[in-house]
Amino acid sequence: MSIFKVGLIGFGTIGAGVAKLLLGKEKEVQTAVGHTIKLVKICDKDLATDRGVDLPEGILTDNLSDILDNKEIDIVIELIGGLEPARTFVLKALRAGKNVVTANKALLANHGPELFEEARLQKKTIAYEAAVGGGIPILASIGTSLQANRIESIQAILNGTCNFILSQMEGKGTDYQDAVREAQRLGYAEANPAMDVEGIDTVQKLTILAQLAFGASVNWKEISCKGIDSVSAIDIQYAEALSCRIRLIADARRTEEGLELKVAPTLVPFSSPLAQVKDAFNAIQVVGDFVGPVFYQGLGAGQRPTASAVCSDVIDTVLGRAAITFSTLNLWGKDRAGILVKPSNDVLRKAYLRVGVEDKTGVMSEISGILASQGISIASIIQREGIDKTNPMVNMILMTHAATEGNLKKAIEKIDRLSYVMNKTVCLGVQG
């Protein structure tokens, strides 16, 4: 039985959850793990706010060197989020001989190669289960339990805020803006929800999954990414009529020509478990060549689920399992044989197009002609009467067969230039 000392950087919502767990369950964790894990320092700029955690005297500090220069601290947990100063702090912690645990997806998606290289150089580890899927142990599953498999595809709901907004829209028939306000009121969405609703958070998490599951090194900015801000109540209704729900899906798929990566609001058939995921839950469906489909669902954010994942990483680090996994996976390693990633314009998708047109002769013929000229074939068309008789616009819904992102973009540009097209065309993905 040894004592492992832990320093925590960042005492926000998640930090407070981790402190509650490590301080409140020290005895239980000791019994389960066989070692004492002691949270000895918490560093934050804000020493005043009460986070509802009973802290031992002298544990809270605003001086980072109380952690970095403390030779007794073995593990540093980084929970400040964002790129800087998180990047600098993690590098310093590694260089000071600490193992690192982080929940920071933006940091890993942007600086993964640099940080992991430094960790290898210092013979230390970085564990990051909480960075994707909150409390769901998806990284451990892919990185260890499914390791005998070649992963064929991953489809996932990775942002609880977006899923909550879409659930509100489908449950209450509210429009996008009202659902965002409701999410903000309940604390699910930030005052500026851009990182969530524009899909940036999701695409960064997909980048991390792509490295782990496929060895793909990719700049998240180059992945095809649409947010949910283009989804309207009317799309939810059309989806329902097509026996589908709309979910913000992160999709990674191994093909003969390389890995396809995309993030988009996507029509998912009721029969798919992803369509059953409600409110702020996250879910991941992984398909392996031997295991087949494995589906995971759980709370993707929040103080306690995220603390569960962070502390499981701390325990793994203490036990030495993290070191084995870290060295075996060789993440972002220069010599890691990775898969080729398809350029985003070549990524295939089935699409749902909602085109708002003046209802007149020849419209359908011209639009389907444009699609055909881009090599896009139409699977089905729904055209409904406008409900508002004073509004001359009708919505035409076109479901396409699989087409490349690039061809879809070009076709939509042409369609949107037509004189009788009254709104920008909405393009969503279709599962399958």
Closest CB to a second copy among 277 and 396?
277
- Could you give phi then psi for residue 397, rounded to 5 degrees? -105, 120
For residues 396 and 326, give the distance between their C-alpha atoms in angstroms, rounded to a whole number: 51
Q: Is 205 an active-site residue?
A: yes
21 near a second copy (CB under 8 A)? yes
The site string for a second copy over 216-235 (x = CB under 8 A, - otherwise) reads --------------------
Closest CB to a second copy among 163 and 374?
163
1 near a second copy (CB under 8 A)? no
Helices 363-373 and 405-417, axial angle in degrees (round to 10): 150
Q: What is each CA distance from 169 to 27, 128, 163, 279, in whole angstroms?
A: 45, 32, 10, 11
The structure tokens listed for 274 are 């992803």
The site string for a second copy over 282-301 (x = CB under 8 A, - otherwise) reads ------xxxxxxxxxxxx--
Closest CB to a second copy among 48 and 337?
337
According to DSSP, the β-strands at 281-288 and 151-157 are antiparallel
For residues 9 and 45, give the distance between their C-alpha atoms in angstroms, rounded to a whole number: 10
Interface residue with a second copy, options 29, 76, 132, 426 (CB under 8 A): 29
Closest CB to a second copy among 10 and 302?
302
For residues 411 and 373, give the distance between their C-alpha atoms in angstroms, rounded to a whole number: 8
Sign of the CA dihedral 40, 43, 49, 52?
Answer: negative
Shortest spacing between CB 229 and a second copy, in angstroms: 28
Shortest spacing between CB 330 and a second copy, in angstroms: 8
> N- to C-terminal Cα distance for the chain?
51
Residue entry with tokens 């909550």: 164
Shortest spacing between CB 21 and a second copy, in angstroms: 6
Per the residue annotation, which of 205, 226, 262, 414 is the catalytic one?
A: 205
Nearest CA to 282 out of 239, 249, 309 is that of 249
The structure tokens listed for 386 are 């406008």
Residues in region 245-284 near a second copy by CB under 8 A: 273, 276
The site string for a second copy over 120-149 (x = CB under 8 A, - otherwise) reads ---------x-----xxx--xx--xxxxxx
Site for a second copy, rule CB under 8 A: 17, 21, 25, 28-29, 31-34, 129, 135-137, 140-141, 144-150, 273, 276, 288-299, 302, 304-305, 307-309, 311-312, 314-316, 319-321, 324-325, 327-328, 337
The catalytic residues are: 205
